[in-house]
C-alpha cells in the first residue's frame, strides 16, 4: 500500500521530539514537506506557510498541525478547503467553537479530521478503561504537575491569551479521564492562579462529578524535581493507580504493569486508518471541560512569572 504524502506544520519542540521521529519510522506516511516560519527538518523541503506548501507541493495529501492553538483555525481551514486530510495536535483549537467549525468543514469537504489526544495512547490507558468498565467508581484524584521551564522553555505563547497555560498539560489528564471513566465528567467548581503579568494560569484546581463519584483535580506548572502525572480511582474492588502519564498501571492484588512510550506512532497509525476508511475522529470532551472550568473558576492573581 502506498504511503500517504504528508506535510508537517509547525517545526517546534513537539514536532522535533515526537512527530518527526514517529513519521521517520512510519510505514503509513511519507514526510514530503514542512511549513514553519522558523523551523526546518533536514532533507525535507520547507515552506513558510501551509498555503505556500500546498500551492508548491500539490502532492501533499494530508497535513499534521503542530502549531500553537491560537491561529491554528485558519491554518487547518486552509488545508481542509484544499481537500487535505488534517491531524491536529492537542488541544485541537483555541476554542470549542473553532474545533466544531473545523469538524463541520471537514465533513462538507469530504476529508478526514483527527483531533488527537496523545496521552490516551499511553501504554496502560486502555487496560485501565477495561478494568473500570464494570466497577462502581467511588472517588477519583488527578494530580498533573510538571515544570513549565523544563517542558516549554521560553514559550511565552503558552501563558498568553489562547495558550491554555497549565491546561496545556492538564488537558492530557482530562483526555485520559474522559477515556477511562464510565460516566461523564461535569465541572462543579474551579480555582485558577494567574500571574499578574500573564493571561493564563500556572496552577488550577477543579472539582468534578462523574456519576456519583467526586473527582478532584490539581494542575501545577511549577513543580521542580520529579514530575507527577497520576490518576487514582477508588472503586468497589480497590484502588486503581495510573501513573507516569498513563504508562504504568497498578491494580489491587496484581503486579505493576509498565509499557513503553508509543503514543505518537499509535496516533499516526490511527490517522492512517481514518484517512483510508474516509472517517474522522473529533472528540471534544477534554477541551469542553477546560472551557467549563474557565467559565466557573475563581481567578486568583499571583506574583509575576518570568521564564
pLDDT in tens, 69-122: 989 999 999 999 999 999 999 999 999 999 999 999 999 999 999 999 999 999
130 and 255 inside one domain: yes
212 and 295 inside one domain: yes
Task: Report the alpha-carbon distance of residue 139 to residue 34 in Å, rounded.
Answer: 45
Given this model, what pLDDT does residue 1 score?
74
158 and 298 inside one domain: yes
Task: Report the alpha-carbon distance of residue 112 to residue 116 in Å, rounded.
Answer: 12
Given this model, what pLDDT does residue 261 score?
84
The 8-class DSSP code of residue 196 comes to T
Task: Report the alpha-carbon distance of residue 243 to residue 124 in Å, rounded.
Answer: 9
Active-site entry in 5, 13, 84, 90: 90
Task: 91-95: list long-range contacts, CB under 8 Å, 24+ apart.
Answer: 91/164, 91/167, 91/168, 91/171, 91/286, 91/287, 91/290, 92/116, 92/282, 92/284, 92/287, 93/69, 93/287, 94/69, 94/70, 94/162, 95/291
Per the listing, cell 497549565 goes with 166
Cross-sheet strand order for the sheet of 257-258: 257-258, 248-250, 238-243, 228-235, 137-145, 213-220, 203-210, 185-195, 298-302
**Torsion over CA: 29, 22, 48, 164 (sign):** positive
- What is the CATH number for 25? 3.40.50.720
Backbone angles phi, psi at 33, to 5 degrees: -165, 160
* 90 has catalytic annotation: yes
| Number of domains composing the chain | 2
135 and 93 inside one domain: no
State how far Cα 133 lies from the chain centre: 23
- Say if residue 123's pLDDT is above 80: yes
Give the domain extent around 19. 4-115
pTM: 0.96
Task: Report the alpha-carbon distance of residue 35 to residue 44 in Å, rounded.
Answer: 10
Residue 197 counted as domain residue: yes
160 and 298 inside one domain: yes
Per the listing, cell 477508588 goes with 234
3-class DSSP assignment, residue 212: coil
Q: What is the mean pLDDT of residues 22-48?
A: 96
- Confidence band of 231 (pLDDT split at 50, 70, 90): very high
236 and 150 inside one domain: yes
49 and 88 inside one domain: yes
- Confidence band of 260 (pLDDT split at 50, 70, 90): confident
3-class DSSP assignment, residue 294: helix
Task: Report the alpha-carbon distance of residue 151 to residue 303 in Å, rounded.
Answer: 21
Residue 184 counted as domain residue: yes
56 and 143 inside one domain: no
Given this model, what pLDDT does residue 300 score?
98
pLDDT in tens, 124-146: 999 999 999 999 999 999 999 99
Beta strands in the chain (DSSP E): 4-9, 29-35, 45-47, 62-65, 85-88, 113-115, 137-145, 185-195, 203-210, 213-220, 228-235, 238-243, 248-250, 257-258, 298-302
- Confidence band of 266 (pLDDT split at 50, 70, 90): very high
37 and 152 inside one domain: no
127 and 20 inside one domain: no
Amino acid at each position: 500500500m502506498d504511503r500517504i504524502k504528508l506535510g508537517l506544520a509547525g517545526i517546534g519542540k513537539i514536532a522535533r521530539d515526537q512527530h518527526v521521529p514517529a513519521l521517520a519510522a512510519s510505514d503509513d506516511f511519507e514526510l514530503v514537506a514542512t511549513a514553519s516560519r522558523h523551523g526546518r527538518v533536514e532533507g525535507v523541503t520547507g515552506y513558510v506557510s501551509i498555503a505556500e506548501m500546498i500551492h508548491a507541493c500539490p502532492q501533499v495529501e494530508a497535513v499534521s498541525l503542530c502549531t500553537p492553538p491560537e491561529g491554528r483555525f485558519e491554518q487547518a481551514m486552509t488545508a481542509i478547503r484544499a481537500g487535505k486530510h488534517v491531524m491536529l495536535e492537542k488541544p485541537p483549537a483555541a476554542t470549542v467553537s473553532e474545533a466544531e467549525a473545523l469538524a463541520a468543514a471537514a465533513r462538507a469537504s469530504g476529508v478526514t479530521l483527527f483531533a488527537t489526544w496523545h496521552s490516551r495512547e499511553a501504554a496502560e490507558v486502555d487496560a485501565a478503561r477495561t478494568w473500570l468498565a464494570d466497577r462502581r467508581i467511588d472517588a477519583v484524584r488527578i494530580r498533573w504537575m510538571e515544570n513549565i521551564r523544563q517542558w516549554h522553555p521560553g514559550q511565552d505563547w503558552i501563558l498568553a491569551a489562547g495558550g491554555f497555560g497549565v491546561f496545556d498539560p492538564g488537558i492530557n489528564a482530562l483526555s485520559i479521564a474522559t477515556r477511562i471513566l464510565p460516566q461523564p465528567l461535569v465541572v462543579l467548581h474551579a480555582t485558577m492562579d494567574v500571574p499578574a503579568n500573564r493571561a493564563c494560569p500556572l496552577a488550577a484546581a477543579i472539582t468534578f462529578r462523574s456519576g456519583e463519584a467526586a473527582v478532584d483535580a490539581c494542575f501545577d506548572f511549577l513543580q521542580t524535581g520529579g514530575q507527577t502525572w497520576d490518576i487514582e480511582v477508588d472503586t468497589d474492588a480497590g484502588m486503581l493507580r495510573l501513573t507516569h502519564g498513563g504508562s504504568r498501571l497498578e491494580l489491587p492484588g496484581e503486579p505493576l504493569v509498565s509499557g513503553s512510550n508509543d503514543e505518537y506512532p499509535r496516533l499516526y497509525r490511527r490517522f492512517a486508518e481514518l484517512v483510508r476508511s474516509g472517517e474522522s475522529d473529533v472528540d471534544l470532551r477534554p477541551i469542553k471541560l477546560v472551557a467549563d472550568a474557565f467559565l466557573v473558576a475563581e481567578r486568583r492573581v499571583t506574583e509575576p512569572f518570568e521564564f
